[in-house]
């Protein structure tokens, strides 16, 4: 939201109350409370009829400082308005000096100026200068025309500093120059709206900022004031965390320490998913023909998904199989299981008036109510639909009870669709949550309820969702997918941008609709998107009004899909190691280039390629010609598919048929490759090949190969000294070594 008219003037009706100078402070245990006058104070007479802002500094854990700015404390935010964060045991030091106050946690410190007419707070991580707020930055904005008050903060941007993240954003990857609203919307991938909004951004300097508000946070990134990132919220209080993890990966990990680490998805979820598509007609004969068709073509399929019309039209959701098309669903699911696939079904939290659940929910008080205690309803999506009120524990149990019936039938997991169009006016939640904050928070509670049900019924380590919307902390409940994209190359590229932006918020596991959701892809696009999709953490063929089985495109599509499913299955020892890393640290599997190579300035703007873990660089092809231009950081890289050896840093041009693309193995890595190409879930430690990339003299590497539950089975190490590579491995399993690069002497240490 913008408040100024250029740099010097304010918009009509807006009166700013800027923090101008230090007035006083108090130390309350581990908290430092500073009072900032909004005008210069010359004497006691100036302390009357003056505005004062209260700024409190605290810390939930080392390397994180929480700054809270308050105008009128009587308007204290409700608990439901703030993200849930973990509280640690930070080391706090508060230092009082003549001209400054210092609030320190770990190596992170906020330095507050006490000099007259010189309000300023500088943030440092050790000796590294991060950012600041100062003159005409921190403020309460009073708008007399619109009768509203907003709290505003502006944090300085360094020369060349770039900002990333703020959720799954399909706009340009670098957010400088953009206005971003932290407001979930069902807007597709071709607009500035987002299904997954996070009030957290990551800087190219390595620090991050989380705004302590789940509601309508408005960001102006180098836009209203080009030297600052501005964020504002309605009301009288604004809080934010500065996180300093040392580098982008460290800060993302620190963010997940605060808001939750991703659960480890079951190994089977990493295989190929196939759906019925959204509005197609289908029955058991149709679904069986798809599964058998994949088997006949030797294309490994691991999950089959029934999208929304497994239920009857107008009854979404009642969680009852359509008896006309699925007269005996339990027996059908058993037959599909015997074909070797897991089963996923589409659900959402919207209850249409024709669903028998509407009456149940209304009579029991399980549905969102209006302020007059009537049920909130809309005709948007389903006629007369209502929302399950997930702030009511009884409603959660009721809703999950309906899903529990499906699990007992043989369903393995759920696609938790929708959750973005949540009303904010004229409604009252069961627990009296703030309606504006619940707009985004709703999807967190929705996915949390379903995920916890799966953990209860299937056991820890077997729960998996396919979720579209999310909020802060939602990374704990994977997997998430990118929403409604178009069947075009530009939409494929914007989908990748969205995934890389989401990765900056600690979302370790992410997927997208292979070949695009809306419209139907050409055979060319289908094959290129299959390459990209099978080199994502999770891989699903899905669409809207047409089926996505490969033989409906052309026979070559079957060949290409099979090749890349086989490739992904063979890479599972490596990929599951990276999945465990994401689960333990929060660092995502699919990473923007700057996250893995923060010192390489060229990597700071790259959004058409990514790192899949730390060892594989993927550059999807976005042109029918097969041409691609990609960047390699320093070192010798090897194309895993072609064997081509290229030395970086530098840009590379290439042209590839459908059987290959730039899949580059990073220098100084051990890539664990499995012996199975037909399943994603197998014994990764049996007959694993440990592939050595190009090693520089003196370089070393180490990998931990897990089992299907994420437990380390084999630890392998390698180091190069002169013309010799010394290797060692230990643990339970069998392995062999292979060189991808020039012949060097391998000696087992």
Distance between first and last Cα of the chain = 61
In angstroms, the CA 17 to CA 38 distance is: 6
Question: Tokens 């890539």 correspond to what residue?
Answer: 671
What are the CA-CA distances from residue 352 to residues 321, 362, 376 (Å)?
15, 12, 12
CA 553 remoteness from chain centre? 31
Tell me the pairing of strands 64-70 and 92-96. Answer: unpaired
Active site residue 417: yes
- Residue among 307, 417, 577, 607 flagged as catalytic: 417
The dihedral sign for the CA sequence 465, 559, 531, 683: positive
What are the CA-CA distances from residue 27 to residues 103, 382, 444, 474 (Å)?
10, 55, 36, 35
- Spatial strand order of the sheet with 21-28 comes to 21-28, 31-37, 52-58, 64-70, 237-244, 207-211, 197-203, 163-167
Which pair of tokens denotes residue 39?
């005008």
Which pair of tokens denotes residue 292?
């058998």
Strand partners, 415: 346
Rg of the Cα trace of the chain? 27
* Residue 84, number of CB atoms within 10 A of its CB: 13
Residue among 460, 420, 428 nearest 444 (CA): 420
Residue among 94, 104, 75 nearest 233 (CA): 75
Q: Could you tell me if 511 and 480 are in contact, meaning their C-beta atoms sit under 8 angstroms apart?
A: yes
Q: Could you tell me if 710 and 580 are in contact, meaning their C-beta atoms sit under 8 angstroms apart?
A: yes
Active site residue 432: no
Half-sphere exposure of 330 (CA within 13 A, CB side): 5
Instruction: Indicate the length of the chain as a whole number.
Output: 749
Active site residue 742: no
- E strand residue ranges, 228-341: 228-234, 237-244, 272-275, 303-306
- Residue among 68, 389, 420, 434 flagged as catalytic: 420
Question: 648 phi and psi, to 5 degrees?
Answer: -105, 175
- Residue among 484, 513, 596, 607 flagged as catalytic: 484
Task: Give the residue numbers annotated as catalytic, written as ranges.
Answer: 417, 420, 484
């Amino acid at each position: 939201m913008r408040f100024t008219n250029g740099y010097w003037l304010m918009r009509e009706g807006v009166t700013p109350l800027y923090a101008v100078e230090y007035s006083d402070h108090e130390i309350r245990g581990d908290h430092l409370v500073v009072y900032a006058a909004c005008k210069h104070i010359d004497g006691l007479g100036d302390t009357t009829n003056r505005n004062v802002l209260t700024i409190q500094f605290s810390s939930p854990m080392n390397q994180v400082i929480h700054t809270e700015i308050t105008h009128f404390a009587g308007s204290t935010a409700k608990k439901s308005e703030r993200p849930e964060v973990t509280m640690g045991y930070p080391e706090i030091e508060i230092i009082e000096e003549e001209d400054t106050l210092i609030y320190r946690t770990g190596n992170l410190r906020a330095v507050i100026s006490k000099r007259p007419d010189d309000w300023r707070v500088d943030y440092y991580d050790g000796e590294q200068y991060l950012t600041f707020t100062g003159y005409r930055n921190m403020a309460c904005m009073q708008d007399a025309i619109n009768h509203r008050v907003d709290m505003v903060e502006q944090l300085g941007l360094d020369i060349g500093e770039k900002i990333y993240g703020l959720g799954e954003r399909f706009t340009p990857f670098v957010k400088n120059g953009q206005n971003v609203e932290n407001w979930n919307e069902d807007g597709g991938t071709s607009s500035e709206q987002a299904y997954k909004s996070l009030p957290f951004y990551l800087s190219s300097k390595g620090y991050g900022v989380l705004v302590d508000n789940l509601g309508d946070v408005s960001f102006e990134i180098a836009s209203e004031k080009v030297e600052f990132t501005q964020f504002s919220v309605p009301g009288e209080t604004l809080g934010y965390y500065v996180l300093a993890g040392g580098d982008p990966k460290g800060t993302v990990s620190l963010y997940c320490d605060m808001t939750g680490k991703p659960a480890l998805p079951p190994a089977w979820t990493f295989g190929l998913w196939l759906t019925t598509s959204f509005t197609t007609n289908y029955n058991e004969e149709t679904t069986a023909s798809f599964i058998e068709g994949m088997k006949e073509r030797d294309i490994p399929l691991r999950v089959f998904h029934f999208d929304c019309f497994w239920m009857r039209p107008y009854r979404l959701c009642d969680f009852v199989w359509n008896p006309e098309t699925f007269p005996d669903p339990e027996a059908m699911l058993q037959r599909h299981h015997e074909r070797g696939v897991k089963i996923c079904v589409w659900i959402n939290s919207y209850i249409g008036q024709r669903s028998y659940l509407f009456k149940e929910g209304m009579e029991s008080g399980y549905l969102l109510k209006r302020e007059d205690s009537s049920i909130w309803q809309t005709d948007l999506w389903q006629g007369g639909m209502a929302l399950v009120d997930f702030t009511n524990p009884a409603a959660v149990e009721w809703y999950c009870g309906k899903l529990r019936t499906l699990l007992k039938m043989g369903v393995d997991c759920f696609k938790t669709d929708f959750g973005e169009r949540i009303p904010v006016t004229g409604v009252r939640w069961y627990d009296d949550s703030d309606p504006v904050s619940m707009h985004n928070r709703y999807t967190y509670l929705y996915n949390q309820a379903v995920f916890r049900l799966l953990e209860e019924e299937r056991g820890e380590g077997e729960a998996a969702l396919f979720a579209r919307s999310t909020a802060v902390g939602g990374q704990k409940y994977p997997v998430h997918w990118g929403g409604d994209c178009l069947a075009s190359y530009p939409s494929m590229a914007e989908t990748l941008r969205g995934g890389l932006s989401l990765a900056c918020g600690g979302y370790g596991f992410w997927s997208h609709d292979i070949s695009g959701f809306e419209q139907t892809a050409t055979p060319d696009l289908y094959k290129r998107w299959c390459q990209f999709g099978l080199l994502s953490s999770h891989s699903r063929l899905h669409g809207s009004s047409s089926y996505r089985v490969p033989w409906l495109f052309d026979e070559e599509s079957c060949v290409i899909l099979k090749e890349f499913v086989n490739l992904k299955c063979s890479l599972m020892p490596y990929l599951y190691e990276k999945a465990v890393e994401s689960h333990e640290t929060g660092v995502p599997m699919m990473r923007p280039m700057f996250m893995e190579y923060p010192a390489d300035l060229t990597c700071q703007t790259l959004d058409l390629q990514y790192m899949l873990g730390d060892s594989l660089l993927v550059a999807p092809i976005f042109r029918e010609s097969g041409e691609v231009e990609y960047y390699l950081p320093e070192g010798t890289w090897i194309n895993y598919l072609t064997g081509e050896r290229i030395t970086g840093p530098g840009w590379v041009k290439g042209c590839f048929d459908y059987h290959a693309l730039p899949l580059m193995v990073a220098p100084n890595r051990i890539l664990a490759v499995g012996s199975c190409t037909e399943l994603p879930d197998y014994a990764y430690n049996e007959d694993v090949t440990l592939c050595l990339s190009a090693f520089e003299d003196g370089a070393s590497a180490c990998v931990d190969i897990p089992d299907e539950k994420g437990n380390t089975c084999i630890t392998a190490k390698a180091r190069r000294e002169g013309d010799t590579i010394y290797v060692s491995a230990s643990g339970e399993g069998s392995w062999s070594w292979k060189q991808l690069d020039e012949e060097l002497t391998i000696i087992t240490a």
